[in-house]
């Protein structure tokens, strides 16, 4: 459960560190993440080199550890509290950010992808990030602009990409279609300062879908693996769109997550 002070801080900054997972839980998640990276699946995305894994999507549907993780009280309870009602998993991904080869995530807000791409009507969403490795200055930590969520959905021109069936691929590549450019970033940083999300494995970060964020390349000889669970309010289902993205990017089944008992962990 989040305290009132923590909730205020989240509303103010657009992000918040919550109660971390245990070392044993994080070890299990890392082991299972590596298994998912090896599994050839439609939700697996490669870096530009064509062979380094960039991330995998939808593992909570096929892997029992991740199925349990999305019901973990340390993950789903704060999300439910912040959103004020039952939630379902809109998107689940594990980003690999491999040592030396993990590529950038350009500056962006998430909501524009879900609003324009998936027909989501309101930003009634919380992202829960779980660090699987220590995030340091060197391994491409998540960068955020505190308070930027208060700017609402920023007007960002859509970069033209190849259309067709696989158009969604650029939404999760290093060439995002709705990236924030230097003039806008410069304007935003007049009132706030880029903050790197650093911390030990097991750290949990909650962040707002309108928070401006990015991450650089991994310059370290070690990975920066991170899970991102996106919860949406059950009463904010996706609307009709001309070309719906695959289910592993935008779930259309809004069955509420059934939280594990309070105090439960990944094992029992």
Q: Is residue 105 close enough to count as binding ligand SIN by CB under 6 A?
A: yes
The single-letter DSSP state of residue 114 is I
Task: Choose between 99 and 260: whose C-beta lies nearer to ligand SIN.
Answer: 99
Select 127 or 260, whichever has its Cβ closest to ligand SIN. 127
Return d(Cα 252, Cα 118) in angstroms, integer. Answer: 9
Told to check if 171 binds Mn ion by CB under 5 A, we report no
213 binds ligand SIN (CB under 6 A): yes
The set of residues, in sequence order, having a beta carbon less than 8 Å from that of 92 and lying 6+ positions away, is 57, 58, 59, 60, 61, 66, 70, 227, 228, 229, 230, 248
Binding flag, residue 215, ligand SIN (CB under 6 A): yes
Report, in Å, the least distance between residue 228 CB and ligand SIN. Answer: 6
Shortest Cβ distance from residue 178 to Mn ion (Å)? 10
Q: Which of 63, 80, 95, 173 binds ligand SIN (CB under 6 A)?
A: 95
Decide whether 88 or 111 has the Cβ nearer to ligand SIN: 111
Q: Which does 171 bind (CB under 5 to 8 A by kind): ligand SIN, Mn ion, none?
A: none
Q: Which of 110, 118, 171, 223 binds Mn ion (CB under 5 A)?
A: 110
The entry of Mn ion, ligand SIN, none near residue 95 (CB within 5 to 8 angstroms by kind) is: ligand SIN
Query: Smallest distance from the beta carbon of 264 to ligand SIN, in angstroms?
Result: 27
Which residue is it, tokens 């158009």?
Answer: 167
Distance CA 6, CA 15 (A): 10
Alpha carbon distance 134, 225 (integer Å): 9
> In angstroms, rounded to a whole number, what is the distance separating the alpha carbons of residues 220 and 203?
19
Q: Is 195 exposed, middle or buried (0-12, 13-18, 19+ CB in 10 A)?
A: middle
Number of residues that bind ligand SIN (CB under 6 A): 7
Nearer residue to ligand SIN within complex by CB, 60 or 213: 213
Supply 190's token pair: 């007049």
Q: Which is nearer to Mn ion, 196 or 264 (CB)?
A: 196
CB 31 within 8 A of CB 107: no
Buried residues in 101-125 as b, exposed as e (16+ CB within 10 A): bbbbbbbbbbbbbbbebbbbeebbb
Residue from 83, 130, 206, 226 touching ligand SIN (CB under 6 A): that is: 226
- Residue 96 CB, shortest distance to ligand SIN, in Å, is 9
DSSP 8-state secondary structure symbol assigned to residue 16: E
User: Is 59 one of the binding residues for ligand SIN (CB under 6 A)?
Assistant: no
Residues of this chain that bind Mn ion (CB under 5 A): 110
Residues of this chain that bind ligand SIN (CB under 6 A): 95, 105, 142, 213, 215, 226, 228
């Amino acid at each position: 459960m989040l305290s009132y002070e923590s909730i205020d801080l989240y509303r103010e900054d657009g992000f918040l560190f919550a109660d971390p997972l245990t070392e044993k839980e994080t070890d299990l998640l890392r082991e299972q993440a590596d298994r998912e990276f090896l599994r050839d699946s439609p939700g697996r995305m490669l870096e530009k080199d064509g062979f380094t894994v960039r991330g995998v999507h939808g593992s909570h549907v096929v892997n029992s550890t991740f199925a349990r993780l999305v019901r973990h009280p340390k993950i789903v309870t704060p999300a439910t509290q912040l959103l004020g009602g039952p939630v379902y998993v809109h998107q689940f991904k594990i980003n690999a950010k491999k040592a030396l080869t993990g590529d950038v995530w350009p500056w962006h807000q998430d909501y524009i992808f879900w609003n324009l791409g998936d027909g989501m009507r309101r930003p009634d969403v919380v992202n829960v990030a779980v660090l699987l490795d220590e995030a340091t200055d060197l391994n491409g930590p998540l960068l955020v602009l505190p308070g930027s969520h208060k700017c609402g959905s920023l007007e960002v021109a859509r970069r033209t990409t190849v259309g067709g069936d696989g158009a969604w691929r650029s939404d999760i590549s290093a060439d995002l279609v709705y990236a924030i450019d230097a003039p806008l970033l410069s304007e935003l940083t007049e009132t706030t300062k880029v903050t790197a999300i650093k911390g030990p494995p097991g750290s949990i970060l909650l962040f707002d879908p309108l928070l401006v964020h990015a991450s650089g390349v991994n310059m370290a000889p070690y990975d920066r693996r991170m899970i991102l669970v996106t919860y949406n309010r059950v009463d904010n289902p996706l609307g009709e769109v001309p070309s719906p993205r695959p289910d592993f990017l935008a779930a259309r089944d809004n069955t509420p997550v059934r939280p594990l008992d309070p105090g439960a962990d990944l094992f029992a």
